[in-house]
A and B are shown apart, each in its own frame.
Chain A
Amino acid sequence: MNVWIAIGVTAVGCYVVKLTGLLVPAGFLEKPLVRRLAALLPVALLAALTAQQTFADGRSPVLDARAAGLAAAAVALLLRAPFLLVVAAAVVVTAGVRAMAG
């Protein structure tokens, strides 16, 4: 049930945000500071999420095969690999390290 609540709240919230942009009069959100903040919010969220989903298990910090996978993804990104290849690199390396570690 909790999952459905989360899905519902997210769906409504994300839709309202999209619609707001289309309906709100221009100039309302066009202030430089507001736009700057809107550009930086995803940076903060994505960075925190990346770190948490790589270096934590639930609420405790861990260092496991995922770290190697993320490093592989980072290398792929530096080499300007396409999106799917970046994700594939992370998955394959993580699985490989896990298999080797037994």
Chain B
Amino acid sequence: MTSAGSGLSLLQTCALSLLVFTGASQFALVGALAAGGSPFTAAAGAFFLGVRNAFYGLRLSQLLALPRAVRPLAAQGVIDETTAVALAQPTRRSARIGFTVTGLTLYVLWNLTTLLGAVGARAIGDTDAWGLDAAGPAVFLALLAPMLKTTTERAVAGAAVVLGLGLLPVLPAGVPVLVAALAAPAVLWAEGRRRGAGPVARAADDVPHGQGEDR
């Protein structure tokens, strides 16, 4: 729906959901394109948001022990929700079932709602008049909120907001958000220094529970 409001065609909107299938990246890409970013800077932002899926895959490959031949197919289903469901299962069998059912259900629903949203937005016409341009940031905020568990996350978020907004007028469209991503290593580095020479003490949570990406 938001994507149809920012100049993507119906086909492009649906292709995005079918091919990318990881919500935050899709919203980020659409937002960056709407702001006039180049296709590559826009894709870079979306890509970095998708990087966390690699870590989900890592956990899942041990848990599900999938045959190699199935992995390329299963890969598309490696997202926040399927990981959360699979990790919550007591046995490998139920984890496999949970992963498959969640993945397929979400894939169908996500793409159906994308189609309905795109068609609906077309029918509405001016999506801004209906406040739909606020849907994108609200989605981001809803994804972000559960991640802000400690001062480290809050410091990263704060620095990223300052960088993302402050650099907007001076850098080409799409680039400020990539620079803002540097807030993550910067805060980690500062944190490591404060703790002395030791390695970053607090290892990341296993699959971050709060990272549920609703779709």
Contact = CB atoms under 8 A, between A and B. Distances in A.
A45 B45 contact: yes
Interface string B107-150: 00000000000000000000011111111111111111101100
Contacts of B183: 44, 47-48
Interface in B48-87: 48-62, 66, 71-72, 74-76, 78-79
B42 interface: yes
B157 A43 contact: yes
A44 B79 CA distance: 19
Given A48-B176, A53-B31, A91-B132, A22 B57 contact: yes
B43 A21 contact: no
Interface string B167-209: 0110001001100111111011000000000011011110010
B57 A19 contact: yes
A53 B29 CA distance: 12
B137 A54 contact: yes
Contacts of A37: 184-185, 188
A33 B195 CA distance: 14
Contact of B156 (A9, A19, A21, A40): A40
Interface in A19-77: 19-24, 26, 29-30, 32-33, 35-56, 58-61, 65-66, 69-70, 73-74, 77
Using C-beta atoms within 8 Å of the partner chain, give the interface range for chain B.
Answer: 35 or more
B168 A45 contact: no
A18 B76 contact: yes
Contacts of A51: 160-161, 164-165
Given A10-B29, A44-B180, A36 B200 contact: yes
Nearest to A82: B214
Contacts of A54: 134, 137
Most B CB atoms within 10 A — which of A46, A50, A51, A91? A46
Given A40-B188, A48-B180, A26 B12 contact: no
B180 A17 contact: no
A2 B161 CA distance: 27
Nearest to A53: B137
Nearest to B45: A45
B152 interface: yes
B95 interface: no
6 contacts: A3-B7, A17-B47, A22-B74, A33-B200, A59-B169, A91-B135
Interface of A: 2-7, 9-11, 13-15, 17-24, 26, 29-30, 32-33, 35-56, 58-61, 65-66, 69-70, 73-74, 77, 83-84, 86-87, 89-96, 98
